[in-house]
Amino acid sequence: MPKIPTFTAKGRPTAETGSIQSNIKLDPRSSIAASILPVVNEVANYAIKKRDNEEKLIAKKTVLELKAESDKIIESQKDNISEEESINNWKNTFTPLIKQKTSSIKNRRIKKLVEQSIDLENSESIYHLKQNSFKAYEKESVKTYNDDINADIAKFKTETNPVLKDKYKNQLYIKAELFNEEHMLGSNDLKKRKEAIDSVLLLTDADSFIGTPDAVNKIKELDKSVNGVKFLSDENFNNSIYNSYVQKIESIAVKGDPNSDYEEAERLLNELENTERYTGSKTISGKREKAFATLKQKILTESIGHDTFVRKIEQGNKFYTYQTEQKKLLEGTFFNAFDASFNKGVNKERALESGNEYESRIDLYVQSNPDATYSEQQQYARQLRLDLVDKYDEVQIEQITAFNLEENKFNVIRETSAIIQARKDYIADPKAKNILITMSRLNGYVDEKGNPEPIKFYNDYIEILKSRQEG
């Protein structure tokens, strides 16, 4: 048989994997890898971008939270005129917040992003602090200047000594110069400031003349002496003079005020109507003509009824005092805390009920009789007191209902027999004291002259009592 050739290995066995050695290189562009590689790269790039964006978002959110806290601190320092102090206050408060926030961030990349962003924000924050401090300084400086100027103007206004008035005026000029120099505002600003001072002083003096003799000529001469047209226009001058006159007129012409002086108000109206500047420019001109006409009509109309109105007010005050005293007398008739015979509970209740009815009837009388004279008011109040004494003295408190003219015209419930007996007593002696007389007067049963009509009252009242008995 043919013999099969065999191979005998001459090398030593190793652990290396056998392989075929080849110099053939794989081109990814010409194989299956060509389609896989771009996908792999895209996935890797997306993952990196996603991570970066997430970290940026977290960092941005943290920065916004810190910026909100920074803004609060900046706002708290907006009125601090000291730049250095406001910045230090901000740093001392904000720096610990930054450290606290960043110390809790574990991701180094996020932490770095936050720190970089905060550094940029801090520069902006310091800028705002400086800006706010400057604005606060300017605001406070202007306020202090204005307060100082107004204080000197007030001194000038009340001063009558010409020497001292000149002194205050010079002081005002000096303060304007110092303010202008401190803020480096220039010569034009200083000129306007001094003109403003001259305007105020001129108008202040002019205002002080209003209400004094020959005020119109005094204002003219003053205006001319300082050559007011150089720093104060006709419109501004006339408007200020008009307002000063109106203020004076309205202060002394208050309808109903006993201290009002409408005669002086009318005099000032006529004076104002003829007021003009030394240049010939009339105060009552332009839009002020209509306003003046309205004011004049108002003052003239009010002056007609003012005296009557004042008298009414005075009468009302007098009557209030009088009727209050009458009420006290009425209540004192039934109750006295220091008298054992008049300090019982029933006495106090009777005093209270009679006092309440007295007040109700007085109020109704005043409303119904607005033109009543003081004498008529006194007569009514006095008679009312006497009638209520009769009413509440004759009956037990349990027999008296609350006073209500609309719902209960007859406000006393009596036994029919008592009423009948009162009628018999009246017929026997019409001039004697009788409850029918009192009740007829209280409930409006009087003739044209105000005399009570007891029988007429009895006839109506007895029918009511009968109907109540039947009910």
State how far the alpha carbon of 198 is from the alpha carbons of 123, 145, 162, 178, in Å. 46, 16, 16, 17
Coil vs helix vs strand at 282: strand
How much is the average pLDDT of 397-420?
A: 51
pLDDT band at 86 (very low <50, low <70, confident <90, very high): very high
Distance (Å, rounded) from C-alpha 248 to C-alpha 158?
Answer: 17
Element (H, E) at 301: helix 288-334
How wide is the angle at C-alpha 249 spanned by C-alphas 248 and 254, nearest 5°?
Answer: 110
pLDDT in tens, 226-243: 999 999 999 999 999 999
pLDDT for the residue 443: 78
Return the closest-CA partner of residue 230 out of 177, 261, 191.
191
For residue 116, pLDDT beyond 90: no
pLDDT for the residue 412: 41
pTM given for the model: 0.51
Coil vs helix vs strand at 400: strand
Distance (Å, rounded) from C-alpha 180 to C-alpha 186?
Answer: 7
Coil vs helix vs strand at 452: strand
pLDDT band at 362 (very low <50, low <70, confident <90, very high): very high
How much is the average pLDDT of 403-423?
A: 57
pLDDT for the residue 41: 63
Distance (Å, rounded) from C-alpha 312 to C-alpha 92?
Answer: 71
For residue 128, pLDDT beyond 60: yes
If one counts every other C-beta atom within 10 angstroms of the C-beta of residue 179, the result is: 20
The residue with greater pLDDT, 61 or 29, is: 61
Residue matched to tokens 């924000």: 121
Per-domain residue ranges for the chain? 40-138, 145-298, 299-398, 414-471
Q: Which two tokens stand for residue 471?
A: 């009910």
- The 3-state secondary structure of 166-228, one letter per residue: HHHHHHHHHHHHHHHHHCCCCHHHHHHHHHHHHHHHHHHHHHHHCCCCCHHHHHHHHHHHCCH
Q: Which two tokens stand for residue 191?
A: 């000129």
pLDDT for the residue 202: 93
pLDDT for the residue 411: 41
Distance (Å, rounded) from C-alpha 311 to C-alpha 305?
Answer: 10
pLDDT in tens, 310-352: 778 788 889 999 999 999 999 998 888 888 877 888 888 888 8
